């Protein structure tokens, strides 16, 4: 089943075309805590051709699975990858969490009909001023 997924789907990790291109041209740069692997093109010329960077996801292909340090490297905001730079998140930063919209773990406010609740009755946040 895994072989068929690699032939016909792109959202379940790498396809055969991506695997071949990575084997042929890719240079492994590093891996994040989620298991995603990051590559760059070996043949990039720094003066004329911009470096091509890509990620092979550990599971389902979801762009929000890329942590902040690697996101900066992927989008050419920093030149050195976090694996070589010694990137560490700040003490005030929360651990990275992927976008949970559409999943069972998504946030639903109180009274959300998605959780089977009844909508809250609308109440004004203020009292209108009445002249005397």
Segments making up each domain of the chain, as ranges: 27-87
Beta bridge partners of 39: 28, 54
pTM of the model: 0.67
Q: Tell me the Ramachandran region of residue 55: left when phi exceeds 0, alpha when psi lies from -120 to 50, beta otherwise.
A: beta
pLDDT, one tens digit per residue, over 4-41 is 666 666 666 677 778 888 888 888 999 988 889 999 88
- End-to-end, the C-alpha distance of the chain in Å comes to 77
**Closest CA relative to residue 110, chosen from 98, 118, 100:** 118
């Amino acid at each position: 089943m895994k072989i068929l997924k690699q032939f016909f789907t792109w959202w379940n990790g790498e396809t055969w075309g991506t695997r071949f291109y990575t084997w042929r041209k890719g240079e492994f740069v590093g891996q994040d805590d989620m298991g995603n692997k990051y590559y760059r093109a070996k043949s990039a010329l720094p003066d004329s051709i911009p470096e091509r960077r890509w990620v092979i996801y550990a599971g389902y292909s979801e762009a929000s699975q890329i942590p902040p340090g690697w996101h900066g490297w992927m989008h050419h905001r920093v030149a050195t990858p976090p694996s070589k730079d010694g990137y560490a998140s700040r003490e005030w930063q929360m651990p990275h969490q992927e976008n949970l919209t559409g999943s069972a773990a998504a946030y639903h406010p109180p009274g959300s009909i998605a959780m089977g609740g009844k909508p809250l009755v609308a109440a004004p946040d203020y009292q209108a001023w009445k002249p005397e």
